[in-house]
């Protein structure tokens, strides 16, 4: 009995202490050899070395070495993955392969911001390299070697201390003051001043962020014409070149962020608040935009485009918007219109042919749809039994929600807020099941025609779909 117990103790003790050592060794930077005083456990360990079989082959130092190797490899993979995502000349990047030319930026706003960014970045790179370099050099060159005596102890070095106080102060003050001046230049007032200098009026556009698409409202689409028409469109914004564009940013639901990398930096789009920013496109062409604030399931698919057009082309778009169709509807298109207004119930959420129709009580329909959406989401938060009672009593809130204005859909280039090119095939696919193109979108989540089939497809025949495609593609 006694021998058995002592044997157990004899074997168990070193095992346990070894585990404790393994734990502390991982935390402490020195090895057992350097440790100034050997702990009792370490001494125990030594006396028992004969019995501890695994300590040599799987020592804690070796284990932690292996661990740091794994960490290093993981870090390497991460850096490689991040680097793969870098493309200096990408569509949605203000950076370019020749950063000193600032040619990734278009217009005064983006250029000003990029210049500030570049100067801040490279100043910080220089400071980092100098400070870290000095640190590494000192750490390696003057590291303590065995047997070294204590080095001479100094205290204070006035010129050096003055230098490392003054230099950062000048740097931070200089860059800080410059940043503030750049901020002032981003104020809309600057855009008005610039436009007046050019003898023009700035263009005002309102962007409304919705989960997960963008609405654009032009109160005065042609600023050179007094009281010109109201235009509402979605996901693709048209602006004239060389004219300051002042954006008013609003949100219908959550916080979004409006970002056209090549034209201007990000600006938050906050519910109940109207933020402003401006930009000016110098070169005609297409600029890519993206919501830059996580706003829910389809956030990454909340893109948009800015078409900067020569004045004449822009005015032609404004004059041609709405009103008579470019070509009269074909018989199929006319059938599609009936589906749109009837079986498809599209008209509860979408408007065609008008910028902002007014409802019976004289309020803008799109505004009313936004309010309905808020009422509906609040209703969804009620307990299920109460909702069931509401439904039985016929008191559930209406399901009309804000959706893209489709008046100029046929003239757009994309579908699903910049996700896929717009053509008959993609439009048909979208109508059959929007989730196939844009998972998580609000149309298939809320429109009644997608709620009746188990496969979540539209409750419409292939003919009805074709007619709808005809009707919508004719809207330009």
Q: How far is the CB of 416 from ligand HEC (least distance, A)?
A: 5
Q: Which of 109, 249, 292, 349 binds ligand HEC (CB under 6 A)?
A: 349
Contact yes or no for 291/249 (Cβ under 8 A): no
Check residue 348 for interaction with ligand HEC (CB under 6 A). yes
Q: How far is the CB of 385 from ligand HEC (least distance, A)?
A: 25
Whichever of 228 and 414 has its CB closer to ligand HEC, that residue is: 414
Q: Which of 203, 295, 308, 472 binds Cu ion (CB under 5 A)?
A: 295
Q: Which of 95, 203, 443, 474 binds ligand HEC (CB under 6 A)?
A: 443
Check residue 278 for interaction with ligand HEC (CB under 6 A). no
Q: How far is the CB of 307 from ligand HEC (least distance, A)?
A: 14
Opening angle at CA 45, ends 43 and 49, nearest 5: 125
Whichever of 280 and 291 has its CB closer to Cu ion, that residue is: 291
Q: Which does 291 bind (CB under 5 to 8 A by kind): ligand HEC, Cu ion, none?
A: Cu ion
Angstrom distance (rounded) from CA 374 to CA 203: 31
Q: CB-based contacts of 115: which residues, under 8 Å, 6+ apart?
A: 102
Check residue 298 for interaction with Cu ion (CB under 5 A). no
Q: CB-based contacts of 472: which residues, under 8 Å, 6+ apart?
A: 336, 340, 406, 409, 410, 427
Q: Which of 346, 365, 370, 474 binds ligand HEC (CB under 6 A)?
A: 346
Q: How far is the CB of 210 from Cu ion (least distance, A)?
A: 8
Q: Which does 260 bind (CB under 5 to 8 A by kind): Cu ion, ligand HEC, none?
A: none
- How many residues are present in the chain? 476
Angstrom distance (rounded) from CA 116 to CA 185: 12
Q: Are strands 414-415 and 420-421 parallel, antiparallel or unpaired?
A: antiparallel
Q: How far is CA 30 from CA 40, 71, 136, 468, in A?
A: 17, 20, 20, 75
Q: Which of 212, 218, 258, 304 binds ligand HEC (CB under 6 A)?
A: 212
| Neighbour count for residue 450 (Cβ, 10 Å) | 20
Check residue 302 for interaction with Cu ion (CB under 5 A). yes
Q: Which does 446 bind (CB under 5 to 8 A by kind): Cu ion, ligand HEC, none?
A: ligand HEC
Q: DSSP states of 74-138 as a string? A: HHHHHHHHHHHT--TT-TT-S--SSGGGTTT--HHHHHHHHHHHHHHHHHHHHHHHHHHHHHHHH
Whichever of 317 and 340 has its CB closer to ligand HEC, that residue is: 340
Q: Which does 213 bind (CB under 5 to 8 A by kind): ligand HEC, Cu ion, none?
A: ligand HEC
Residue span binding ligand HEC (CB under 6 A) among the ranges 28-36, 93-101, 309-317, 444-452: 444-452
Angstrom distance (rounded) from CA 446 to CA 292: 25
Q: Which of 442, 466, 470, 474 binds ligand HEC (CB under 6 A)?
A: 442
Spatial strand order of the sheet with 275-279 comes to 231-234, 213-218, 203-210, 245-251, 275-279
Q: How far is the CB of 303 from ligand HEC (least distance, A)?
A: 10
CA R_g for the chain: 33
Whichever of 218 and 278 has its CB closer to ligand HEC, that residue is: 218
Q: Does 287 sit behind a cis peptide bond, omega within 30 degrees of 0 on the bond before it? A: no
Check residue 404 for interaction with ligand HEC (CB under 6 A). yes
Q: Which does 235 bind (CB under 5 to 8 A by kind): Cu ion, ligand HEC, none?
A: ligand HEC
Q: Which two tokens stand for residue 39?
A: 């702990």
Angstrom distance (rounded) from CA 273 to CA 56: 67
Whichever of 259 and 317 has its CB closer to Cu ion, that residue is: 259
Which residue's C-beta sits nearest to ligand HEC?
A: 346
Q: Which of 192, 254, 341, 446 binds ligand HEC (CB under 6 A)?
A: 446
Contact yes or no for 351/405 (Cβ under 8 A): yes
Whichever of 256 and 305 has its CB closer to Cu ion, that residue is: 256
Q: How far is the CB of 447 from ligand HEC (least distance, A)?
A: 3
Q: Which of 304, 449, 474, 475 binds ligand HEC (CB under 6 A)?
A: 449
Q: How far is CA 406 from CA 232, 321, 340, 471, in A?
A: 9, 11, 11, 11
Check residue 234 for interaction with Cu ion (CB under 5 A). no
Check residue 307 for interaction with ligand HEC (CB under 6 A). no
Q: How far is CA 350 from CA 84, 182, 190, 208, 356, in A?
A: 40, 41, 36, 15, 11
Binding site for Cu ion (CB under 5 A): 256, 291, 295, 302
Binding site for ligand HEC (CB under 6 A): 212-213, 234-235, 298, 340, 344-346, 348-350, 399, 401, 403-404, 406, 409, 415-417, 430-431, 438, 441-443, 446-447, 449, 468, 472
């Amino acid at each position: 009995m006694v021998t058995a117990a002592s044997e157990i103790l004899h074997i168990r003790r070193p095992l346990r202490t070894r585990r404790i050592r393994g734990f502390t060794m991982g935390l402490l930077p020195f090895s057992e050899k350097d440790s100034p005083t050997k702990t009792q456990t370490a001494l125990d360990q030594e006396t028992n070395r004969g019995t501890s079989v695994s300590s040599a082959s799987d020592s804690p130092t070796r284990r932690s070495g292996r661990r740091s190797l794994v960490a290093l490899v993981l870090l390497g993979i991460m850096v490689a993955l991040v680097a793969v995502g870098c493309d200096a000349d990408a569509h949605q990047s203000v950076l370019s392969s020749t950063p000193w030319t600032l040619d990734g930026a278009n217009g005064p706003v983006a250029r000003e911001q990029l210049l500030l960014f570049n100067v801040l970045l490279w100043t910080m790179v220089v400071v980092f390299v100098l400070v870290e370099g000095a640190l590494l050099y000192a750490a390696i060159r003057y590291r303590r070697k065995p047997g070294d005596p204590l080095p001479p102890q100094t205290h204070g070095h006035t010129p050096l201390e003055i230098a490392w106080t003054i230099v950062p102060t000048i740097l931070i003050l200089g860059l800080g003051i410059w940043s503030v001046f750049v901020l002032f230049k981003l104020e809309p007032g600057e855009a008005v001043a610039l436009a007046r200098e050019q003898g023009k009026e700035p263009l005002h556009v309102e962007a409304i962020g919705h989960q997960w698409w963008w609405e654009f409202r032009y109160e005065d689409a042609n600023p050179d014409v007094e009281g010109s028409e109201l235009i509402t469109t979605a996901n693709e914004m048209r602006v004239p070149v060389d004219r300051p564009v002042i954006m008013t940013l609003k949100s219908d639901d959550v916080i979004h962020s409006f970002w056209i990398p090549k034209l201007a930096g990000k600006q938050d789009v906050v519910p109940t608040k109207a933020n402003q920013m401006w930009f000016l496109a110098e070169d005609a062409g297409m600029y890519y935009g993206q919501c830059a604030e996580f706003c829910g399931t389809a956030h990454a698919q909340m893109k948009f485009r800015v078409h900067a057009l020569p004045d004449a082309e822009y005015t032609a778009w404004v004059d041609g918007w709405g009103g008579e169709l470019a070509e009269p509807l074909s018989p199929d298109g006319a059938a599609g219109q009936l589906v749109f207004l009837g079986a498809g119930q599209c008209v509860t959420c979408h408007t065609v042919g008008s910028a902002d129709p007014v409802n019976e009580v004289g309020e803008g329909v799109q505004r009313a749809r936004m309010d309905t959406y808020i009422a509906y989401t609040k209703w969804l938060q009620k307990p299920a039994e109460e909702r069931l009672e509401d439904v039985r009593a016929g008191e559930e809130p209406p399901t009309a929600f804000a959706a893209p204005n489709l008046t100029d859909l046929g003239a757009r280039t994309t579908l699903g807020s910049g996700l896929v090119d717009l053509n008959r095939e993609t439009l048909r696919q979208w109508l059959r099941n929007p989730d196939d193109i844009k998972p998580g979108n609000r149309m298939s989540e809320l429109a009644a025609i997608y709620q009746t089939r188990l496969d979540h497809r539209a409750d419409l025949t292939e003919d009805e779909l074709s007619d709808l495609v005809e009707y919508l593609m004719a809207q330009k």
